[in-house]
Structure 1
C-alpha cells in the first residue's frame, strides 16, 4: 500500500499536478524548525528555474506519522539532539525503502546525534560519501567540486553522504555546508547573492534528482 501511495504521488507529479514537500519534525530537543524561510525560497527558485510545480505551502510532518508517505521529499535540519522512537525508525525506514527521499542538512551541531539515528534506521548500511561526479552534482546545475561550501564553522570541507537502495540515493546527509542557511532570506544571514544562488542551485539539483531518478 505504501509503495502504491508513493507511486501515485509521482504519477500525479508527472501529470503536472502541484506537489508538496515537507519539513520533518523530530524529538530530542533539536530545533527542527530552524531556517523557516529556506524551503519556501527553494520552492520558489525551483518553480522559476527548473520548471517544477511545487506548492509554496510547506507542511510539517512528524517522523512516525503515516502522513510521511504523502511527500516524495522531506527536509530535516537543526543544530542539536535528535531522538527517533522505535516507531519513528520503522516508519522512516518503510518510507525510504518505498520510494521516499530524506535530505538531512546539518545546521551545525547535529552530526554526533543524527549519525546514531541513521544507523538505527539502516543498521546494515553505511553512509557513503558521494563523489564529485555523482549525478546529483551534474544536473541541472554543474558543481564540479561536489557539494558547495555555504557557511564556515570549523574550517572543515563540505561533505555529502548518502544511503543507497538498489543504486538509488534515498537519504542525503549534507555536513559542513549549511545549504539551508543559504536558502534563507537574504537579511537572515546577510549572505551575498552569489552564495545564496549557489545554495539554491544545489538545492534545485537535489529536487531534480528526487523527481527524475
Structure 2
C-alpha cells in the first residue's frame, strides 16, 4: 500500500507535461487544454469499432477510484478527422475485423501521435492483419516491436514483471505487447492476443474468464493511461 501511494504521488507530480501540452491544430485562443479522458476511435472499413461497450467506462471508474487523476468517467467517441481529436490524450482502438484509414486520416493520426498523443490498439481477435497494414500508412518507416519488460508501462503503478497479461483465450497464442516508439517515447501500444477490453467489461460478461483476470486487465489499463498522460513532451 505504501509503495502504491508513493507511485501515485509520483504520478501526480508528473502531470506538468500534460498541463502544459497543447495538441490543438490551432494555437492561441483556438488551442484547448487536453482532457483527462479516453476517446474510442471510430474508423471505417467494416470492423466493429464499438465492441466491448462497458470496457472504457469501467476502466475510467477504476482510474478515478485508484489514482489521483480526476478523469472523466464517460467514454468519448471521435474520428480521426474530428476537431475534438486534439482534446484527448488517450485514444483506444479495438474490433474484430477490417480497419481502413484514408490518406488524410493516416496523416492526421501521425500528427496526433507526433505531438504527444497516445494510441492503445486492443486486438479483439481478427484485427491483426488489418491494423498492421493501416499503421504502415501512418508510419511507413516504423515497425511494431516487442515492448521490453523493463519498460515503465509495466510498472508505473502496478507491476507486471512478465509483461502483458493474458485475459481471454482464443487460439492458445501468448499475449504480446507491441509498440511503436517515437524517439524514446512509446506512442502506440498494441495489446495482441490478450483482449484487455474483454477484461475491462462488466464482470460476468464472459463467463469463462475468472474475476481475477478482470482485476489484472484493469490494473494494466491503469498503467497504460498513467504512462500515456505522464510521458508527454512538454510544450
Q: Report if TM-score (shorter chain) is over 0.5.
A: yes
For 2:211, the equivalent position in structure 1 comes to 193
Unaligned 5+ segments in structure 2 are 1-20, 25-30
Paired residues of 1:44 and 1:56 also in contact (CA < 8 A):
yes
| 2: CA distance, partners of 1:110 / 1:132 | 24
- Aligned ranges for residues 122-201 of structure 1 at < 5 Å? 122-190=139-207, 191-201=209-219
Q: Deviations over 1:172-208 (max 9, x none)?
A: 1110000000000012113322110000000000011
- Residue 154 of structure 1: SS of its match in structure 2? coil
- Choose which of 113, 119, 122 in structure 2 pairs with 1:102: 119
Matched, 1:19 2:43: no
How far apart, CA to CA, are the structure 2 residues paired with 1:33 and 1:127?
Answer: 24
2-side partners of 1:28 and 1:53: how far apart?
34
Q: Is the partner of 1:119 in helix, strand or coil?
A: helix
How many residue pairs get aligned? The number is: 204
Q: How far has the Cα of 1:8 moved from its partner?
A: 5.7
Q: Which runs of 5 or more residues in structure 1 are unaligned? A: 11-17
The structure whose Rg is larger is: 2
RMSD over aligned Cα atoms: 1.5
After superposing the two structures, state which structure 1 stretch, 187-196 or 96-105, moved more.
Answer: 187-196
**Partner residue in 2 for 1:45:** 62
Offset from partner CA, 1:72-103 (integer Å, 9 cap, x none): 00101000000001111011111000110000
| Preserved contact between residue 64 and residue 89 of structure 1 (Cα < 8 Å) | no
